[in-house]
Structure 1
């Protein structure tokens, strides 16, 4: 059994590495080691997340996916959550989340009956928390949209300010031939941000040509 940690943050402004100390402490407390870490800056409302699916692709039956919170794994719609859960079940991966105590027993070896009991209870709780996480996401989006509408009506909406210093660093690394993964790790940005900067560089190069 391998334990693979999944660390996710929604945006480049958030630090996906922040949870590492908590996951390491949990692993030490429960007597196991984390074999690999998969880190990405992507929304939990998106099903397509490269690092999450790379983690699942690396897993063997019985491996553990360790994450800080269930909403780091899913803020998905119900159909997308069913699809992700089907992938997890097909790989026979055990989900252990720090905010889901019913899952903690899955990180330790157990007899067949106990393992099946833990898995059944955990599957039910995962469904509940995934639904709660999606509702929280939708509520926050609704409140943000209402706030934006009010700001626009009052003539004070300015939109999100671009992180120009970070984007200049991304551009420099792209021009130096760095891989997207290296840029993500160095700059703490999403693949979407890199794609936007890459598009700007290509547009600028086309104009100069």
Structure 2
């Protein structure tokens, strides 16, 4: 059975191809032949993603759309997720999520067993897509609250740098101060950001 890999990261500081090796191993274990790899750095809240759209255009009925986790595919609003999900189903694709074991059976299951697993899998994926969207909403709200609190504490303060995540930068600075011997990779993991961001903050503080 043929499969298309979809890889996504939110920012240029993150590596969209990080999961490529893991998905290649997964495909090999399941006897899947990789016919396309689509990778992009773009927010999961956007429905209009060039590589995802290219995958959906190229994929054929019965093939597998393989992703690492549901949040790599969607942090979309409910309406946009409904649109994407309907498109995947209309194309006749099997959506397999590496970290969702119930979806693995879609690779092999047919007949009544396959139909039952498909129903269960769709329910779980819908639930996980909702959780991914709520997690995104919480992140945005935390950032807004962090900026508002900063402005209250320092009325003359203004965010510097286009697109800078002020809350994340403050978190990284705090981690570096508390753990001066910790490596950039370790700090990046704790802050859930790219190593490049950590190095950029280090240069700013130097």
Instruction: Name the TM-score class by shorter chain.
Output: 0.7 to 0.9
- Whole-angstrom CA distance in 2 between matches of 1:162 and 1:138: 18
Structure 2 gaps of 5+ residues are 165-206
Pairwise CA distance, 1:112: 2.1
SS at match of 1:96: strand
Residue equivalent to 1:103:
103
- Whole-angstrom CA distance in 2 between matches of 1:111 and 1:46: 33
> CA deviation digits over 1:150-207, x for unaligned, max 9?
22333355444679xxxxxxxxxxxxxxxxxxxxxxxxxxxxxxxxxxxxxxxxxxxx
Residue equivalent to 1:75:
75
Change (3 A) 1:105 1:50: same
Greater RCO, 1 or 2 (C-alpha within 8 Å, sep 6+): 1
**Mapped pair 1:123 → 2:122:** yes
TM-score (norm 1): 0.72
Matches within 5 A, 1:1-209: 1-108=1-108, 110-155=109-154, 158-160=159-161
Contact persistence 1:102–1:118 (CA under 8 A): yes
Pairwise CA distance, 1:30: 2.0
Contact persistence 1:148–1:157 (CA under 8 A): no
Structure 1 gaps of 5+ residues are 164-209
Contact persistence 1:63–1:93 (CA under 8 A): yes
SS at match of 1:27: helix
TM-score (norm 2): 0.73
- Whole-angstrom CA distance in 2 between matches of 1:162 and 1:42: 14
- Whole-angstrom CA distance in 2 between matches of 1:56 and 1:70: 16
- Whole-angstrom CA distance in 2 between matches of 1:159 and 1:119: 48
SS at match of 1:65: strand
